Amino acid sequence: MNNEVIISCAVTGSGDTAKKHPELPITPKQIADAAIEAAKEGAAIAHMHVREPDGKPSRKLEYYKEVADRIRSSDTDVVINFTTGMGGDFEVGEGKDPLNPIGPNTDMVHALDRLEHVEELLPEICTLDCGSLNFGDTNMLFVHTPIQLRAAAKKMQDLGVKPEMEAFEMGHLWFANQLYKEGLVDGPPMYQICLGIPWGSPADTSSMKVMADMIPSEGIWAGFGIGRHQMPMAAQAVILGGNVRVGLEDNLYLKKGVLASNGQLVEKAARIVDDLGAKILNPEEVREKLKLKKHF
């Protein structure tokens, strides 16, 4: 069991959830406010995407800058963790030639272009999705190749930004370990075990344990399950020696039929951690544990 737990809050994500939750954070102000709310309830790390005014996902630097500025100028401390996942979406076309035309939801940019906001704003952490994945029962793929991943990891290392290596299945975790072995990720390596997204690994104890067992002893990991699995997987992560991620990116409900806020999800997770007898780490303790570089 982990007796010193880091709670992360993923406050909005990039999924098609704006229509499902009337108070999902969308504007930069709402996203920053949600991160601050989560921090006040016990989250040491806020993981953030940005969105367009209509709720669709975005990569715009100005949105990220406003989020970072608002958090950094507030009187609430929280470690900023920006996504770098946007720009790797490929939708196979329906015709005889799957590349002509490709699906309209395709959004592919160079791996290093996904890091523009990271290079400009220097968050303490950014995500690194460590492989490709069939994403649900559609023609959508998330694409991240070994060559792209090595280039992105090296850029993050040069910038002094800690990659949170996200693994949706065992092959991703295998490659994350390879990046660390090759010296492209500084220690201690940081991992996120992402469970329940079709068609990665399911959100259950066996999947979490087998993936956690692949992580080197000096590695620091967290795990989450989506939807109704969020809180059971939070408890399971602590019991297996890991840390916790909750938030509206992964789950919209406090309980069946009751929509949640990020603060409420963090408060519930913190109560679980406390009931298990573990200490919840604050942002400064997390910076020391993860050896983060605070640029601002």
For the stretch 5-26, pLDDT in tens is: 999 999 999 989 999 999 999 9
Alpha helix positions (H), the chain: 28-40, 61-72, 116-121, 146-159, 170-181, 205-212, 230-239, 262-275, 283-290
pLDDT digits (tens, 9 = 90+) for 171-185: 999 999 999 999 999
Q: Which domain CATH number covers 75?
A: 3.20.20.70
For residue 227, what are the domain limits?
4-290
- Residue 15 domain flag: yes
- Residue 246 domain flag: yes
Tell if the pTM clears 0.95, that is, is over it. yes
- Residue 295 domain flag: no
- Residue 235 domain flag: yes
**DSSP structural state of residue 111:** G
Specify the pLDDT at position 51.
97
Rounded distance between C-alpha atoms, residue 208 and residue 193, angstroms: 7
pLDDT digits (tens, 9 = 90+) for 180-206: 999 999 999 999 999 999 999 999 999
- Residue 137 domain flag: yes
Specify the pLDDT at position 86.
87
Q: Taking 90 as the threshold, does the pLDDT of residue 136 lie above it?
A: no
Rounded distance between C-alpha atoms, residue 225 and residue 102, angstroms: 31
- Residue 206 domain flag: yes
Domain total of the chain? 1
Q: How far apart are the two ends of the chain, measured CA to CA in Å?
A: 34
- Residue 236 domain flag: yes
Which one, of 224, 221, 280, 275, lies nearest residue 248 by Cα? 224
Confidence of residue 295 (pLDDT cuts 50, 70, 90): confident
Cβ neighbour number for residue 179 with a 10 Å cutoff = 22
- Residue 296 domain flag: no
Confidence of residue 237 (pLDDT cuts 50, 70, 90): very high
pLDDT digits (tens, 9 = 90+) for 46-98: 999 999 999 999 999 999 999 999 999 999 999 999 999 889 999 999 888 88
pLDDT digits (tens, 9 = 90+) for 260-277: 999 999 999 999 999 999
Specify the pLDDT at position 259.
97
Specify the pLDDT at position 101.
87
Residue reference for tokens 């390879």: 178
Q: How many residues can be counted in the chain?
A: 296
14, 164, 246, 285 from 79: Cα distances, Å: 20, 12, 15, 11
